Chains A and B, each alone.
Chain A
Amino acid sequence: MASVTLDNLTKNYGGGAINAVQNLDLEIADGEFLVLVGPSGCGKSTALRMIAGLEEITDGAVWIGDEFVNDVHPKDRDIAMVFQNYALYPHMTVYNNIAFALQLARVPKDEIDRRVREAAGILELDDYLKRRPGQLSGGQRQRVAMGRAIVRQPSVFLMDEPLSNLDAKLRVQMRAEIAALQHRLGVTTVYVTHDQVEAMTMGDRVALLKDGVLQQVDTPSRIYDVPANLFVAAFIGSPTMNLYQVDFLSGSGGEPSIRLGGSTLDLPKAVLAHRPGLARYVGKPIVAGIRPEDIRRAEDTGGAASIVGKAELLEALGSDMIAHLSIDARAVQVSSSDSLEGISATEVEGGSARCVARLSARSRIRLGDIVSVVFDRERFHFFDPETGEAIWN
């Protein structure tokens, strides 16, 4: 087991024209499961490949345990990697695929046999050892790829989107299996994915990258509840957070409120106590965010001041109903592939904006209905409209 430290890790292509990874600093503790997440092309796989030694490092350093490994060959880094396409050797049996690394290391045959069978036992592959990868299902291949990694008993697992080739159901199953396996083996793991559900459910901590720049690294719940900026807020969570351009106001007694379209919503004083930085924005426009699950129907909450919207799309999921309402507000859109400058306030025709609410499955709403909803005001998120950073201090 070992920790992994990335110090100012940078990767440029084309003589510096393209910055795939910029000044990435990360400390991954011994035995930790860290998920690197971000949209396509954000540099997460490049970062992983630099840890593996498959990609030359432009600047910065990688440490595995106490060893500076920038110039260490991949085979000497004591790592095992699971690739997106599994990279199983198609001409070898499952047994030989798993045993390959041990054979190369000239481990005695009976020892190889013992370890391969042990790994196969853990992954329930005992019956498939004589088959070739082509004769296995997607989930079994994925298991073989895992087997190949664990049989070496490495210090670090590196996984590059290992579940992205599986169908949705199998992905859920394998997600749980990998997380359980990692927990059981206690091996430091760096896991790359673009799937936020994987990021939220599997990792001890999540590192969110965008355009090669680390946006936030924290526990899944903190990433969700305390996003560092607009990009993180918009990227994590499904349906995505509702973001509006609002005016931040302060009454004579210091009680804060926001003007959302034509409505004024009073905020509890505690909001200002938690976010003293908001005081600087009095009378100015800011970005306010509210997650769909923090919106309820007014009739369920005893008639607090509510926002009225027209139901334009209803998605009944069985457990919940996702209601897309058009309300009187100015929406802010964050394009995930653009930079933070891509934040723009867009107005839907007639001065209305989309509001996505996760309502009870038993809500009797029909398309076109006018629905009153209430925002949980303690759960608002506030962001600077210029920088996109969350407003705290």
Chain B
Amino acid sequence: MTRLTAVLGAGVALLFAASLLTGPAEIGVGDSLSALLLGGDTPAAMVMREIRLPRALLALMIGGSLGLAGAAMQGYLRNSLADPGLIGVSGSAALGAVLSIQTGVAGAVAFSLPAFALGGALIGVFAVLALAGPRGTSLTLILAGIAISALAGALTSLVLNLSPNPFAANEIVFWMMGSLADRSMVHVGIAIPFIAIGAFMLARLARGLDALTLGEDAAAAMGISLRSLRLTLVFGTAAVVGASTAVAGAIGFVGLVVPHILRPFVGARPGALLWASALGGAIMLLAADIAVRLILPERDLKLGVLTAIVGAPLFLHLIYRTRREGL
């Protein structure tokens, strides 16, 4: 367990450094690091501090968020096919962002896009809780999440459908693919409070999620408040996923695949999986964000497209393995 943490931590550190050293501006390793640490008015310092550092930080934060939220969601629903997007937050955050692009507010007012997306996530999470109730079973939460996701998806399609402006429609489509290109330290500043609070909430669920291994009734009899567990899960997930979607767009498969891969390494304990999965998510997203810059440097390959292309076959393989074990 501690060895796993050390390996994953080293992987995160290594990939974070690699992310800082990857980019079209050919800056040597020594020059990059001195420019990053010492600053100054050189172009290298600008590139390092204004372009690469926020990008690497966002990959770290968002990857960690998605991994953590995925592990928490799978632990709560006791289903390894659950995904943090299941409760409809990413869908409603995307709808908020799309509305800001479509209405032109995003172009007129700086950083209104992430603000709209966060607003969308907030409305989405309250709609889900209003539908599912604070003390229903996990099934009602899934159904409410599916309903809100479907509604947000339909409204997003409606906006695209009726868009009189092909440029806005184009921008929406590209934004929805998810990317960390051209983000600034302001994006980091917008996301960090929500991600910090959400991650703190989700990390506190370990004991309750462990108890849920025995089912809701046994967990409740051991003194776990299912009501507060559910509220903490929903608000924690909404905070980290809403903030992630607001600054990076929709990035799929990280929250689904990472907990699934790491589960055997923590002895399947849902509580221990939380942090392992956060580190694993950061690794996956840092690696994917390096890959999009190396594979097609001049074509702006979108991060969400890559995670889906890599994640879907990986997931199919996992399902195949699960099926074979089931026989």
A binds B: no
